[in-house]
Structure 1
């Protein structure tokens, strides 16, 4: 099965505009190709990874601050803590689709021919990062619960488009089957931030009393200031597109652009990828988008439940506040290793669905262990299944979504739908592991997350079967027709678009 191409013509090769590629790639030399992708990885991935690392760190560090005394000092109930987390998600969800559509927004000025891109990721993403760095810092100087709610609202507003925006941004630079490893590389920053935040919090809370501020306040202040400084720096680090990447030679730029066209990851010209409300609507009509949307909702519930409540869960297993910060590190560290290994296998063997199923099975094992055992040691060991499982699932689903929608506007919408559902799951997680299922047992939450994990196995298998069946139908069409006889504008519905399984 040939998953490495999105479009194929009668000679088994095609481009995103559904017409044959007339001019050859600048080179087919394997050494040259490796040098191009290596240079892209070295210049682009560290910046993108830092974006998501800071995003997840600044959003989830409230969990560490809670263990360090935030909830006690602001006299919050468990119900109020859940409200504070929920307030973050409302603007977060609202911002996701508009920000993704604006990421590559262009318009056609009066009396001018070619469209002009007026908003680009090189401006939009750094602006978001800088603004939420300011908000994170302000959380360290507040004294009331109402001020915390205001900060969490604006944090969600400015962070809302980051993850879907970064997934879409990387699809501007990498072909489909090169994508999951890169998405996993930056998403692994979430598991690293989960581990690092525990270590960082353990050190920072020793600043308790400095400047007449508690230790939890310094967590927000120091992490927020770093985010702000990096946000300003990132204006000079992110290229708008491969054609604007100053670290590539012209020959390398041509190679990347042609590889994206061959793969179908980009259109043959700007008209193919220009914004269209019709394409937004078509994204909502794709069956694979909605199967993945359900998966995103379940995965989001598990992911944010683990991100926000792991320090609290570990504390209920008999560890002190400081010790709980440290003991939350190993499960997230193991998640990083598994995420990268799973990404390599998924890209190498083109098996998104299998990796998704495997990750969900790990969650089933982990939540079953936590639910059925009364031993603190076994319950702690269960985190080495549930946390790596969910952190492997998220980049797999993100790549699967980006792989199977085209052209650009349809893909941007599909990605945004997935992350809207992810963060809707985050809202459920804040209540499920907060007011609805309190410590120490988290019984109701564990049962729900276990049920979600089982359903994710089934839906991942169903989506894999659906895409496989659609590929078989398209193969039959290609036997009796040509790409030139096909109606234009079909995108991923084209018989020459091969779904990634």
Structure 2
């Protein structure tokens, strides 16, 4: 007993500390100048403090603490519940991660969807304004109306490069300015007195919306893992059919109650549907977070988890947008054929995506309905599309697959357009009620198909990029090429082709077939690249060094596809198909 001495006690204490440091650390002591001070003996030391005892209160808006920014704390080994090489416990639980995702789902995605709903409403309500008196009051020809649609997409294409501004300007500032900008321009459309004035406003509207919409999927990728993105992009993009449905329903009410008002119904429509964006822009300034680490609606602990789960080494977005671009990644993306296959898929899908929302009220009116009935009947197809987009995106994320759903929707949409075109071509052989029924019912799968395809194309394009600059560049390429589709789509339904519009329907059918074909080609290409990545990964794993008694293939033990990512040290991906 007499042989026991302080060193023995110290060794025991040290051993105990090493085995329990996963959960507890002693309260630290230090001098004012930061030098280490000898602490008290174990017998006089105060109670131990939980290392994970972060206060779950709303420390909103504050950057992460120095400890949370520590490089060791953010080691990639400690992320997503994977055992670190030292065998220590994960830094957060699956319940914590799930709660963070739910917070983003409740507070971030719905608000972005609201913003996109407002933007798509302001861009597409010109179709409702046309049959509400716009064309008659301004004495627009069919060609001039097509130019109003085209002017929007010309500037929308020319300013696609502004997608990269999400990496240069704090998003809460940038998004707020975009929303306020398009709200003012959309409202000013009610003051137009000539074709020239309205075409200028449509061009300005294209600039303000190009600065926002195309970059939001990239912005969401800063908050979600890639197997989570399709559903969240679906929630965001599904605001488009919801906006079109809302526009038709609202147009019905506006036309009905303002027919005898002091100003024309179409002017009232532009004002009522445009100005709310200006008000919402104020809320966007305070509600949009710049990064997971600065989300006001997360507690301090949740901000740490939100950042770590993305396997990011840069915790603060302020550091990110102030840092230099990875130009090499941008050039690599610009030379990647996969980016252009996705872009031409987007181009083909946009032919239908850009034409149906702005022409459907006219198409339905030409089926024999009144203007008021056409406004009302334009809404239901988009409500169905809204539900289908969400279900498709959810299923795509659950199965971690994009191409099967994309191909299926493209084919269904193509067949629906073909049915409309064939019915119009052979209308003399069908009873009028039957041809009208077939054409209207076929609108439902046609619309649901191209909206779902758009969602999956955008998500698939970003799924297979690692660097933020690569994601931003892929979205820029996707939109620069893809948004040329509306230049064709907005000219598919001239008045001279009415009331059957066979040529326009057949063209959309063809391009949706092209979407399916390109998706098949991209899937085959990615399958081949996956086989090469997996083979090389296993080769390196087998020859790899041993880390604390654990071989490199232990990194692949999680059973999910992302466990292969980054394991070879050269940031190669296992591509999502």
**What's the TM-score once normalised by structure 2's chain length?**
0.76
Matches of 1:77 and 1:300 in 2, distance apart? Answer: 24
Contact 1:471 1:499 in 2 (8 A): yes
| Residue aligning to 1:405 | 465
| Partner residue, 2:299 | 249
Match of 1:316 among 338, 354, 366: 366
1:104–1:210 distance in 2 versus 1, CA, 3 Å? farther
Tell me how far apart the structure 2 counterparts of residues 42 and 439 of structure 1 sit (CA, whole Å): 44
The 3-state SS of whatever aligns with 1:260 is coil
SS at match of 1:500: coil
- Taking the aligned partners of 2:528 and 2:346, their CA distance within structure 1 comes to 22
Task: Indicate if the aligned counterparts of 1:68 and 1:205 stay in contact, CA closer than 8 A.
Answer: yes
Q: Determine which of 94, 101, 123 is the counterpart of 1:59.
A: 123
Of residues 28, 31, 49 in structure 1, which corresponds to 2:93? 28
Name whichever structure is richer in helix by fraction: 1
2:341 aligns with 291
Report if the CA contact (8 A) 1:273-1:407 is conserved: no
In structure 2, the CA distance between the partners of 1:24 and 1:469, relative to structure 1 (3 Å rule), is: farther
Higher RCO by CA contacts (8 Å cutoff, separation 6 or greater): 1
After superposition, residues 80-479 of structure 1 pair within 5 angstroms as 80-97=144-161, 99-105=162-168, 119-208=169-258, 212-261=262-311, 270=320, 274-373=324-423, 374=427, 375-434=435-494, 438-479=497-538
* Kept after mapping to 1: 8 A contact 2:347/2:483: yes
Change (3 A) 1:122 1:376: same
Query: 1:165-197 CA distances to partner (integer Å, 9 max, x unpaired)?
Result: 111110010000111111100111101011111
Contact 1:371 1:446 in 2 (8 A): yes
Give the 3-state SS of the residue equivalent to 1:497 in structure 2.
coil
Partner Cα separation in structure 2 for residue 200 and residue 472 of structure 1: 52
C-alpha displacement at 1:39, in angstroms?
A: 1.0
Equivalent pair of 1:474/1:495 in contact (CA under 8 Å): no
Contact 2:420 2:502 (8 Å CA) reproduced: no
State the shift of 1:494 in Å: 4.5
Counterpart CA distance in 2 for 1:61 and 1:492 is 51
Structure 1's unaligned 5+ residue stretches are: 1-11, 106-118
Contact 2:256–2:372 (8 Å) recurs in 1: no
Corresponding residue SS for 2:416: helix
CA distance in 2, matches of 1:167, 1:484: 37
Counterparts of 2:407 and 2:447, CA distance in 1: 15
* 1:42-79: CA deviation from partner (whole Å, max 9, x where unpaired): 11012100111011000000000001111111101110
- Asked if 2 retains the 8 angstrom alpha-carbon contact of 1:64 and 1:201, the reply is yes
Determine the structure 2 residue equivalent to 1:110.
none
**Unmatched segments (≥5 aa) in structure 2:** 1-75, 428-434, 546-565
Deviation digits for residues 303-361 of structure 1 (CA, Å, limit 9, x no counterpart):
01111111111111111101001101111111011101101110000110111101101
Measured against aligned partners, the alpha-carbon deviations of 1:187-245 in whole angstroms (never above 9, x if no partner) come to 11101011111100001123436663100111100111111111122111101000110
Q: SS at 1:406's partner residue?
A: coil
Cα drift, residue 406 of structure 1: 2.5
**Mapped partners of 2:334, 2:129: distance in 1:** 39
How many residue pairs get aligned? The number is 466
Larger radius of gyration: 2
Aligned counterparts of 1:463 and 1:263: Cα–Cα separation in 2: 31
Check conservation: 1:127, 1:231, Cα contact below 8 A.
yes
CA separation in 2, counterparts of 1:264 and 1:95? 29
- Please state if 1:497 is matched with 2:556: no
Give how far 1:453 is off: 1.2
Distance, in Å, in 1 between the alignment partners of 2:513 and 2:401 is 19
RMSD: 2.8
Q: Does the CA-based 8 Å contact 2:78-2:91 persist in structure 1?
A: no
C-alpha contact (below 8 Å) 1:404/1:492 kept by paired residues: no
The answer to whether the 8 Å contact 1:58/1:136 transfers is yes
Whole-angstrom distance in 2 between the partners of 1:217 and 1:272: 43
Choose 34-43 or 383-392, whichever is displaced more: 34-43
Aligned to 2:559: none
Equivalent residue, structure 1, for 2:61: none
**Partner Cα distance (1:493, 1:381) in 2:** 53
TM-score using structure 1 length:
0.87
SS in 2 for 1:432: coil
